[in-house]
Structure 1
Amino acid sequence: MKKSVLAFGTLIVLATVSCSKKDKIELVEAPEVEIVNVLSQNNVAQQDTLFFKVKATKGSTFAWSVDNKDAAAKDSIFKFVSNDLGEHTITVTASKSDKKTSSQVSVTVYGKYKYGTFVLNEGNMTSENGSLTFISPTGVVTDSAYSKVNGTDLGNVAQDLFIRNNKIYIISQNGKKNAVGNSFENDGLLVVANAETLKKEAAYNDELAALSWPTHVAVLNEENVIIRDNSGLYRFNTTTKALTLIKGTRSSAKLTMAVSNNKIFAAAGTKVYVYEPNKDSITFALDMKASVSGVVKASDGNIWVSTTGSPSKISKINYRDYSLIKANDITVGSVSAGFGATPGITAKGDTLYFSGAGTKMYRHIFSIGSTEFMADAKPLVENANIVYNNIAVHPLTGEVYMNTIKGYGLDFLINNINVFNFSNGAKVSTNYKNYTNFPAGIFFTWNYN
Structure 2
Amino acid sequence: MLKKRSGLALGAFIAVAAVSCSKNDDVAPVWSPDVQLINVLSQNNVAQEDTLFFKVKAATGSTFSWSVDGKDAAVADSVFKFVSNELGEHTIRVAASGNGQSASSDAKVTVYGKYKFGTFVLNEGNMTSENGSLVFISPSGVVTENAYFKANGTDLGNVAQDLYIHNNKMYVISQNGKTNAVGSSFTNDGMLVVANAETLKKEAAYNDELAALRWPTHVAVLNEENVILRDNNGLYNFNTLTKTLTFIKGSRSAAKMTMAVSNNKVFAAAGSKVYVVEPNKDTLTYALDMKASVSGVVKANDGNIWVSTTGSPSKISKINYRDYSLIKANEISAGSVSAGFGATPGITAKGDTLYFSGAGTKIYRHVFSVGTTEFMVDAKTMVENAGVVYNNIAVHPLTGEVYLNTIKGYGPAYLFNSISVFNFSGKPVLSNNYKDYTKFPAGIFFTYSFN
TM range (shorter): over 0.9
Name 1:88's counterpart in structure 2. Answer: 90
Q: Structure 1 stretches of 5 or more lacking a match?
A: 1-24
Q: 1:423: Cα distance to partner?
A: 1.3
Q: Which residue of structure 2 lines up, in the alignment, with residue 280 of structure 1?
A: 282
Give the Cα–Cα distance (whole angstroms) in 2 for the partners of residues 177 and 198 of structure 1: 21
C-alpha distance in structure 2 between counterparts of 1:34 and 1:304, whole Å: 53
Q: Which residue of 2 aligns with 1:343?
A: 345
Inter-partner Cα distance in structure 1 for 2:187 and 2:150 = 15
- Out of 166, 170, 186, the residue aligned to residue 164 of structure 1 is 166
Report if the CA contact (8 A) 2:158-2:181 is conserved. Answer: no
Q: Distance in 1 between matches of 2:338 and 2:144?
A: 31
Corresponding position: 1:252 with 2:222: no
Contact 2:235 2:247 survives alignment (8 Å): yes
- What is the letter of the counterpart of residue 160 of structure 2? A
| C-alpha distance in structure 1 between counterparts of 2:352 and 2:46, whole Å | 31
Question: Shift of the alpha carbon at 1:94?
Answer: 1.2
Equivalence for 1:41: 43
Q: Does the C-alpha gap of structure 1 residues 232 and 133 become closer, same or farther in structure 2, counting only changes over 3 Å?
A: same
Q: Is the 8 A contact 1:31 1:100 kept in 2?
A: yes
Q: Which amino acid aligns with 1:146?
A: Y
Q: Which residue of 2 aligns with 1:147?
A: 149
Q: What is the CA–CA distance in structure 2 between the aligned matches of 1:253 and 1:448, rounded to whole Å?
A: 22
Distance (whole Å) between structure 2 residues aligned to residue 243 and residue 47 of structure 1: 39
Deviations 1:372-391 (A, max 9, x none): 10000001111011110000
| Contact map agreement 1:116 1:134 (CA 8 A) in 2 | yes
Q: Per-residue displacement from partner, 1:381-428 (whole Å, max 9, x unpaired)?
A: 110111100000011111100000000110000000001111121111
Q: Could you tell me whether the CA contact under 8 Å between 2:32 and 2:58 is conserved in 1?
A: no
Q: Deviations over 1:17-56 (max 9, x none)?
A: xxxxxxxx98935431111111111000000101111122
Equivalent AA in structure 2 for residue 318 of structure 1: N
Aligned ranges 1:192-211 → 2 under 5 Å: 192-211=194-213
Residues in 1 aligned to 2:132 and 2:140: alpha-carbon distance in whole angstroms: 25
Give a deviation string over 1:230-265, Cα, whole Å, max 9, x none: 000000011111101000000100000000111000
Q: Which residue of 1 aligns with 2:117?
A: 115
CA shift at 1:305, angstroms? Answer: 0.6
Query: Residue in 2 aligned with 1:388?
Result: 390
Does the CA contact (< 8 Å) of 2:189 and 2:205 recur in 1?
yes
Q: 2:222, 2:264 within 8 Å by CA — same for their partners in 1?
A: yes
Residues in 2 aligned to 1:127 and 1:221: alpha-carbon distance in whole angstroms: 34
Distance of 1:396 and 1:55 partners within structure 2: 37
Correspondence for 2:331: 329
Give the residue type in structure 1 aligned to 2:173: I
Aligned ranges 1:41-440 → 2 under 5 Å: 41-177=43-179, 185-440=187-442
Q: CA deviation at 1:314?
A: 0.7
- Residue identity (%): 79
Following TM superposition, by how much is the alpha carbon of 1:178 offset from its aligned partner in structure 2, in angstroms?
7.1
Following TM superposition, by how much is the alpha carbon of 1:177 offset from its aligned partner in structure 2, in angstroms? 2.3
Give yes or no for contact 1:350–1:365 (8 Å, CA) kept in 2. yes
CA distance in 2, matches of 1:263, 1:60: 62
SS of 1:149's partner is: helix
Structure 1 CA distance for aligned equivalents of residues 100 and 330 of structure 2 = 75
CA–CA distance in 1 between the matches of 2:217 and 2:54?
Answer: 47
Q: Residue 176 of structure 1 contacts residue 184 of structure 1 at CA under 8 Å; is this kept in 2?
A: no
Aligned residue for 1:4?
none
Secondary structure of the corresponding residue to residue 336 of structure 1: coil
Please give the alpha-carbon distance, in whole angstroms, between the structure 1 residues aligned to 2:60 and 2:327.
66
Amino acid at match of 2:164: F
8 Å contact kept, 1:30–1:101: no
* Alpha-carbon offset, residue 321 of structure 1: 1.1
- Aligned AA (1:265): F
SS of aligned partner of 2:115 = coil
Query: Which secondary structure does the structure 2 equivalent of 1:306 belong to?
Result: strand
Q: Is the alpha carbon distance of 1:132 and 1:179 closer, same or farther for their aligned partners in structure 2, counting shifts above 3 Å? A: closer
Cα deviation, residue 323, structure 1: 1.0
- 2:446 counterpart letter in structure 1: F
> What secondary structure is seen at the aligned counterpart in 2 of 1:147?
helix
Please state how far the C-alpha of 1:99 moved relative to its aligned partner. Answer: 1.4
Alpha-carbon contact 1:403-1:439 (below 8 Å) kept: yes
2: CA distance, partners of 1:27 / 1:176: 73
Q: 4+ runs of 1 displaced by more than 3 Å?
A: 25-30, 182-185
For residue 176 of structure 1, report the CA deviation from its aligned partner.
1.8
In the aligned structure 2, how far is the partner of 1:356 from the partner of 1:27?
A: 76
* Equivalence for 2:7: none
